[in-house]
Structure 1
């Protein structure tokens, strides 16, 4: 059942706990809010009097503004959890306190309750959604916020039902107790979520308060230049002001009508609970259809719907002031405001650039809305003393008429306003969602103006207008684009061609035919890709002209092979009777040009019968490397569902074109394996592949933040920059960072536990290397956790601490540890600090390591080895296997004995790791007296440039180091030869000479040939074997390829050369000083004579 719900609601398993917690939290908050709202409104009307409502309408907006500004400045460094829980506890406690005070029968409590219901509802809503924005990133919020909102609606319904049920059993005063109890439960739920999904890896520091001007005045003054730039801003001001003037008048009339209709408190509160519950249900149902209305009739018509309904409401109150008019008024205005008016207003504000939008929202909702509310409330105060309540409709009608007039003005001027904003580059269309743009530009006049702009624009502006018109469904757009192509440069034409739908007929191909220029390869290929359908006479004429121009160039090699292949493919499709047979012959033939043309032809034909033949060619990719991009694209067209897993293997291909085609063809969907492969390309040498890989990750349905963190460290700089770009775009939140950090600490504990177990074994070479390797892995996990914790650290404090944390200076390191304790989240500090402050390994494992089944399992050497042999790391398994081979049979269990038998080469069947171990065995050449994998590492480590490398880097070098043997007096290389190898002496001796003069001997452990090898110069020496000699040989090409994967080796080489230069400079300086002293001595001695 849960799995079905997850699939239906598109909730990931990792998100389910946080989602359910958020739904439960908003359910409790909204449920409590409705209980309190129903009680406060009923108690005020029946115990204090409806005549005081206008005063409270004036007080409410000012108090709300005050509380929002004050509460937002209280302890801003606290997490959103603590702020919300603090507010929930405060509201709940205050409700209990007021419940006690009610026994004193103080009438002053009821206006306070009426004011509090608005403040509590506003503040709790703001703080909850602030928490939601910190818990969920943008992609998650689009999926989950509507579902969480449904939880709030259910809470409203639950609050109304509880109000009706409880009020019929006990006194309505006890609803305050229920309200307080529900809020306290919500506070406990908030603290629980805070412990399970913590925030603020690095807590924010409180900002020093600075004295500024009044926010109210700043908002008014700041909007002056914006109003001058666009008439749409004053229109928005008018719409907001008039709507908020009539709102308190309508609410006052509603409350008066309800107060007159229901004489008792119980009857009134039952009415409120039932009425509001029904209103919530209808609002939710209408939300599903409202988008179709303003999508069909346009934004101005949707805005007109709300004031026209207010006109009916006030006319209804004027001619029939009773409960039915009141119910229609509240019901219709709330529903229309929620379903029509608010979404459309948000669309209009959303089209402005962010810097203007950030000023408009506070101004409209803070200044203009409150001015309207206060104006409406003052009008009620002034008129109710001389007029009965139903005559307030006469006071409100002029403002309703002004509201309608503003909307009509917008209706007639809408096209001109939007076009003026567009011409001034004032609209933020690139960041506005597509469906919003379509509704904004629904007006025909706007589309005609956009078309005129397209005809007169050039370059990127022309492409932008054409793409917008394409999305809006502009009629006859293809012909307009074709007419405009001759005025655009080649780069713009390439972008415009895919926008043409292909419904233009022969005219499309005639224009393409005139534009043929095979010398411009990108343009020609772009025309080829859009030349559809190919089985028409006009298309064949286009390809005939293309083929003729190819031939007219004389030398066929000067034309792109891909262009010639497309040309041949179209001509091939002319032979419809023999096409299938001929294409099969060409694809099985040896002429690669024919194969290329046939691949393109079958791709365009759309016939899936060729899929098996294409797969055969793909499997022989090594012999058809030039054809791989075309093969992959053909399979993408003919077999889009099955191509992804077949082309995934080509993501690591050596050719850029093949990697690009494979990346374009695959769809990640929800496959973590594919996501890992694509993430590996974020550090690709090709910028195009890197950019496409980043975009693929950004648009995939779900990206696990923890998976992104895994690729951060260790990684190249380019890889880290790409991952950080993805993290910024996906807005990965703190719960994922906490989970990753704790996962890294858990892995570090496992490495420590296994290392302690291996220390009980004999300390031979294999065991020492494995222990060192595990120590390095543990260090990497700790560093990765700390660096990921610094991602959201805007202050940069954690990055500064990390620079000193691993310093050799003990004073700097101790200061960094102290700073880390006061900077990071206490929960993370407790976990990371034992690894940094020198805590004994046994104490670390006792306090931190919690493994299902008990930590004792990995404290036994044999069990630890068995665990390592299951590792996903190839190097870890190889090193563990080396240790296993040195152990005697009597200390091993049955399973581990079987594994050892496999490692020593005996026949094995049925073990899940057989393939893995067999694969590792095949990488080592087994010969008599040959070096083992571990011995190679030891010899490589003796080389100066390699001595500080980690075990995984040394292992990579050992994989490319080949063991070679030389007979006595055999020459290894001669001087003035180009250097492409370096050597490490393993056994024997090598003499070195220059100009037939001996200059030295290289003995076991020495390396030579390195300098010329690194700087790509000629040999300075001649080397020959003095006796039977064995060496490790490293080739230059393989070494350079390995450097791309392990950049740390390049850094170590640079450090060695820097030390050599430093020693040389010190030596020169010492010689200069000695020479200067000698000169001074001789000068003084000469003077004395």
Structure 2
């Protein structure tokens, strides 16, 4: 078992991070299930694209704000502030349910807030984790921490699915989320003295554009990060397409709002069980055995194969199989590998680089995909082509993006050795620097 690899001096650090990740993912996933099913039921499946577009524009804005302050403020203090702020926001949404505000307002808001949390909070928590662990420790422990995230995701998906029969359950869930976020803030606050974080902070110039430019310059200056960024942009487009395809097919199969929420939550829970098995059995061993160079190959290959599944099995079955495959690969292999890889970035730049890779790129790819998919749906609604043709167009676009991402990872592999000697990867003096990676 991967848990055996946790050393005695790592237990406390691991436990604090595990709690933060567990609370965050439970709250974000439960909000996403409630918000997504509520939006589809109250507005319709095609209209969720415009909610997603607004959602991702906000993600981009918050990623910019995060990158402005991620390396200027101590990350532990920023994490505490964000958890407290989230607690207040969930309490506000709870009050909106209590006063019976329109569902067309509440559910998009729940979806958007959950998605912002799903994107921003992992960036700060995983960056904090890189401050607490060296690269060799991260390669051994991050897959286990990702397994903890998967367990929280399982609970976050199951609870809304099993308690969908009354509006009160959703109200109570928002109140519970507010309390859990407050618990996370208190836990980290009380742990700071024992954690004794001493990461380097950088004094930035006053002009925000200079701060934002640094993340881009770093990625452009190190070839492996540049090609990884390109693959993430293309995969973000393709992934959003598969997610919409699943929701569209589910809305056609389940017209009842409660049944839709139940299906969506249970489907995600089953998908999460597969992730638990993957995280606790093979991910850590694969990362240590094959290294970063080979581990990034899996995501674009899986994406292309998932699109083929959707094309071969039209309807909900193909959509569920394709979406499940991609999600398992993304959260079980790709994300822990990418977050361990970010440990190679120097302390004082890691927040901005993380925001660029996991904030700007994902948001940009998702917004573009929402607009293009929305235009295809509008064309279908005006009779320019039929629904089946619209679905085919969307899936072919996703396949093209997967092929482009595969080429980018091929270039990543070609430039890996040279990039490891790049002066920008000079790290803090600590065991487990860049030289440890040269063995790969």
**TM bucket, shorter chain:** 0.7 to 0.9
Q: How does 1:284-295 map to 2 (within 5 A)?
A: 284-287=276-279, 288-289=281-282
| 1:263, distance to aligned residue in structure 2 (A) | 3.0
Q: TM-score, normalising length from structure 2? A: 0.75
Shift of 1:309: 1.4
**Could you say which residue in structure 2 is the equivalent of 1:396?**
394
Q: Is the 8 A contact 2:30 2:160 kept in 1?
A: yes
Contact 1:61 1:370 (C-alpha < 8 Å) held by counterparts: yes
The correspondence of residues 230-309 of structure 1 with structure 2, limited to 5 A, is: 239-287=231-279, 288-289=281-282, 302=298, 305-309=301-305
Q: Does 1:427 align with 2:419?
A: yes
Instruction: Give 5+ residue unaligned stretches, structure 2.
Output: 381-385, 433-440
Distance 1:372 1:65, change over 3 A: closer
- Whether 1:35 and 2:27 are equivalent positions in the alignment is no
Q: What pairs with 1:740-779 in structure 2 (closer than 5 Å)?
A: none
Secondary structure of the structure 2 residue equivalent to 1:197? helix
- 1:20 maps to 2:9: no
Aligned pair in 2 of structure 1 residues 108, 347: CA closer, same or farther (>3 Å)? Answer: closer
1:380 aligned to which of 373, 378, 384:
373
Mapping of 1:2-401 within 5 angstroms? 8-12=4-8, 14-71=9-66, 73=68, 79-102=74-97, 103-106=99-102, 107-138=104-135, 140-168=137-165, 170-194=168-192, 197=194, 199=196, 207=203, 210-213=206-209, 239-287=231-279, 288-289=281-282, 302=298, 305-316=301-312, 320-321=314-315, 323-339=316-332, 365=358, 368-387=361-380, 390-401=388-399
* 2:418 partner SS: coil
The structure with more radius of gyration: 1
Q: Distance in 2 between matches of 1:265 and 1:249?
A: 22
Q: Quick check: 2:126–2:339 contact (8 Å CA) kept in 1? A: no
Residues 400 and 62 (structure 1 numbering): CA distance in 2 closer, same or farther, change over 3 Å?
Answer: closer
1:729 correspondence with 2:411: no
Deviation of 1:379 (Å): 1.0
In structure 2, distance between residues paired with 1:308 and 1:140:
32
Give the superposition deviation at 1:331: 0.6
Distance 1:330 1:7 in 2: 29
Quickly say closer, same or farther: Cα 1:326–1:190, change in 2 above 3 A. Answer: same
Aligned-partner SS, 2:430: helix
Higher relative contact order (Cα pairs below 8 Å, separated by 6+ residues): 2
* Partner Cα separation in structure 2 for residue 105 and residue 179 of structure 1: 19
What is the SS of the residue equivalent to 1:67?
helix
Q: Structure 1 or 2: larger helix share?
A: 2
**Runs of 5+ in structure 1 lacking a partner?**
432-726, 732-1089
Between the aligned partners of 2:276 and 2:24, the Cα distance in structure 1 is 19
Superposed counterparts of 1:486-635, under 5 Å: none
85-94 or 216-225, larger mean C-alpha shift: 216-225
The question of whether the paired residues in 1 share the 8 Å contact of 2:306 and 2:321 is answered with no
Deviations 1:1043-1083 (A, max 9, x none): xxxxxxxxxxxxxxxxxxxxxxxxxxxxxxxxxxxxxxxxx
- Distance in 1 (alpha carbons) for counterparts of 2:401 and 2:37: 32
The residue aligned with 1:1064 is: none
CA distance in 2: counterparts of 1:392 and 1:342, whole angstroms: 31
Tell whether the 8 Å contact from 1:352 to 1:426 is kept in structure 2 after alignment.
no
Decide whether aligned partners of structure 1 residues 120 and 276 sit closer, same or farther in structure 2, where only a CA change above 3 A counts.
same
Q: Deviations over 1:374-432 (max 9, x none)?
A: 22111112111221654333323443453465477679x869x83xx58xx8331699x
SS in 2 for 1:51: coil
Q: 1:368 to 1:728 in 2, by over 3 A?
A: closer
